[in-house]
Structure 1
Amino acid sequence: MNSVIVADAGPLIALSKIDHLNLLHQMYGDVLIPPAIFKELALESQKAGTAILKTALSEGKLQVVEVHPLKEKSSLGLLLDPGEVEAILLAEQMNCRFLLIDERKGRIVAKKRGIPIVGICGLLLLAKEEGFIPLVAPLLNKLLDIGYRLSSQLISDVTNRAKEQMKPV
């Protein structure tokens, strides 16, 4: 298995908005994205986190890689958006360590295809376990503050695994 990871847009945007996109590079080196994810990042906008994404691309920490072959793109496109389809196909093509994805349908399809998956919360747990961050809960709070959707059950599971507590709302 390769040491590179492939990422979907949602987690990349969220990590950039909470100023932790570099965590991916620190933990795994370069992160690959397909062209459809590059388009989803909307780098021409002035949204929060865009400058961080642009820097990661210009420094080669995020790399756009073409997906080959695209023959399955149309059948998967019935279930998923183009970015998720290309991310799944690129993850297969590159035999990646894992696909960073949070969207439920995309996770289900990736699992069925035998692709290891990690969501943003799992990534933060791994980062804490490996000593890259001291605490998970403050970052979960930041994700919630920017409007990232995390279920209360997921937050509870993650904070329990991390042996932490969330700040009161």
Structure 2
Amino acid sequence: MREIKQIDPLVASWDLGLGESHVLSWGYNNPGYEAILDDRAAKNAALALKVPVRSTLGVILLAKQEGIVPAVKPIFEQLVQIGFRVSPQVLSAALRLVNESF
């Protein structure tokens, strides 16, 4: 994790949460990197600011595609158990992308 000393004023104008603002500020000021964001408002801000974004589920799917993890279903189940909010339809669609089922 890289430290952010100040939230970029353009990001601050979106009135996002502190964590999202820090991630988005770093991504905005460091072109060539993706911001990992799940919050819809933060994703909208990233789109407007032209900051590439990947979701938490997207990171896990990429890890499976690159052979870093053998299966995503157990990871998705753990996320849901600890309170990660995602619809069953999104989870099912993500699992289908890597030939797994819920």
Q: Which runs of 5+ in 1 are unaligned?
A: 1-61
SS in structure 2 of the partner of residue 63 of structure 1: coil
Give the aligned partner of residue 28 of structure 2.
92
TM-superposed deviation, 1:152: 1.2
2:55 maps to which of 114, 119, 139: 119
* TM-score normalized with structure 1 length: 0.55
Which consecutive unaligned segments of at least 5 residues does structure 2 have?
A: none
Give the equivalent residue in structure 2 for 1:55: none
Once residues 13 and 61 of structure 2 are traced to their aligned partners in structure 1, the CA distance between those partners, rounded to angstroms, is 34
Deviation at 1:107, TM superposition (A): 0.8
Whichever residue aligns with residue 83 of structure 1, its letter is G
Partners of 1:125 and 1:114 in 2: how far apart?
A: 23
> What is the CA deviation profile of residues 87-136 of structure 1, one whole-angstrom value per residue up to 9, with x for unaligned ones?
21211101142000111110111012111111111101100001100001
Partners of 2:74 and 2:12 lie apart in 1 by 40
How many Å separate the matches in 2 of 1:92 and 1:72?
9
Quick one: which of 78, 82, 97 aligns to 1:142?
Answer: 78
Q: Return the letter of the residue paired with 1:157.
A: A
Cα shift readout 1:38-78 (whole Å, capped 9, x = no counterpart): xxxxxxxxxxxxxxxxxxxxxxxx3323247x33354222x
The RMSD of aligned alpha carbons is 1.7
Partners of 2:23 and 2:36 within 8 A in 1: no
- Structure number with the higher strand fraction is 1
User: For 2:14, which of 76, 100, 121 is the aligned residue?
Assistant: 76
Contact 1:67 1:90 in 2 (8 A): no
Q: CA shift at 1:82, angstroms?
A: 2.7
Distance 2:63 2:88 in 1: 21
Which TM-score applies when normalising by structure 2? 0.88
Residue identity matched to 1:64: E
